[in-house]
Structure 1
Amino acid sequence: MFKRISVKVTVYVNILLLIVLLIGSWFIIGQQSQSLEDQLLERGKMEAVMGAKITGRLLEEAIDNGVFSVNDAFDTEYEEIPGFDPPKYHTKYDFYLDKALLAVEDEFVKDDSVVFAVAVDKNGYLPTHNTRYQQPITGNVERDKVGNRTKRIFNDPVGLAAAQNLKEGYLQVYNRDTGETMWDISAPIMVKGKHWGGFRIGFSLVKTNAQKAELTQSIALTMIAILLVSILSVIFTVASSLRPLEVLTKAASDLADGKVDNPIKVDSADEVGKLADALERLRISLKAAMDRIRKRRAQ
């Protein structure tokens, strides 16, 4: 099979095309995946900054309205609430945030990609969690760890880094104690010019990775379709281009066998056409020579 030029050309061209498409697909998928992550990070940064500013403003309004003092807003004498494992705590301001901040935080988690959106103080204390994480206590430690996470201190390395961070849009990979892995994007909360804590946005990597997988599948299917069309196009083009060579090969074989009566004609102005003209001149010369030889023998 590989003795035919058409087969060799078709195979070599399609292999080269496959390599080009694979490299192109890898580059496009990489670029689009990075773009997807950049968009998610930018969205998370904007939401974290917005949440931080709203939280800071709510605390400052409470101070200005005499709800509690500046010192109370920065209260770190956490009063443990009996009967909880992991432990939960009250502060001098958490009652206020339960009323003022909860609805704000819940607005962020309406986005399917957002797992949580919370304000924490510099020690990682979380006074008010989203409604979805304030489920009734069941007594089952593992279930309550997932369903009721409010008023806990999250002082794990990621939690503390987010709480003490002074950079807007600080990104970390958070391995949550529930077994989930996600992005943690935070921004600092300022109250009366002082760093109070951070506003944390948790973005699900499961959803992000699913979007990447969908993107990869879409691009792969598109490239496969392009490859199939290209293969068929190459096969047709090569076969059409080399068909005159088959005619010329047979004509050359006929000339070798002494068959010089059939004109050699190929409608082409390229190299194949020039070869056909040369073979036709050769046929005419051979025919003339053979005619002269016959005449001499006849005499």
Structure 2
Amino acid sequence: MAGDPELNQAEGQQYRQQSTVRETTARNTVSPNMAILLGILFIAILFRFHNITLPLVDAFSWRETSTAMMADNFQQRSWNIFFPEVSWTGPGPSYQGREFQIVSYLTALLYQLFGWHDWFGRMIAALFGLVTVFSLHRLTALCWGETHAHAAALAYALMPAAIMIDSSFLPDPSMLALVTLGVWLFTKYWTGGSAWLLPFATASFSLGVLAKPPGLAAGGVIFYLMVCWLLQNRRKHAAKVFISGLVSLFVIGAYYSWAIYLGRTYPPFHVAGSGYIWD
């Protein structure tokens, strides 16, 4: 009977069915580490969405108001993201040299779809804060393991200053989220991930720096890993990263050159960061 072809075929089919069931069960079962990550994200949601409908009267009200004005003007006057406009200078247009308006533009889109609510900006910022928690967790897990990842993500989720910023109508949450996501994707690529990770990492990192220039400091991590590849004689990989970095720097430099030109051409002749960056 052991040599019966029909019996062997039936046993093989039964084994394949059992393997399929085991694989499906494994996919549908949430691992303990995944459950902990979901719990940390839930904690982050509780703190960042607490009083999410608060008017723009908190500690950063002066900056939040400018961001809200630009969102209003995108929705009411012009959808051109390269011409951010405030409303505190009298008759317009009142274009200013500002960061790339990711948060205010997404908020304007929500205004268009669901009507005007002043807390939409806070909601967008809080969602970016959740991206930061997730990206920090996965980046730390890639470097030091899941236990360290849980500790790092939970610490950030509970950090009072981070909660305060992530629930404010500011560009900072988008900068930190996109830069952290970009560094994580690049590190995955550096450890042998798929080739498609590099353009996604470059795009995410570039958008993060466009959202606010201090994000450029995180580029030191990418530069360090590129040097490691050179020392390992992996020049082909290092060259790809170098080219991606040049493209990123070109896009960033081109946009901020435009922002400076815009701010110096139109009243009230204001460029964000004047006095401590561009001067």
Length-normalised TM-score, structure 2: 0.27
Larger Rg: 1
Length-normalised TM-score, structure 1: 0.26
More relative contact order, 1 or 2 (CA 8 Å, 6+ apart): 2
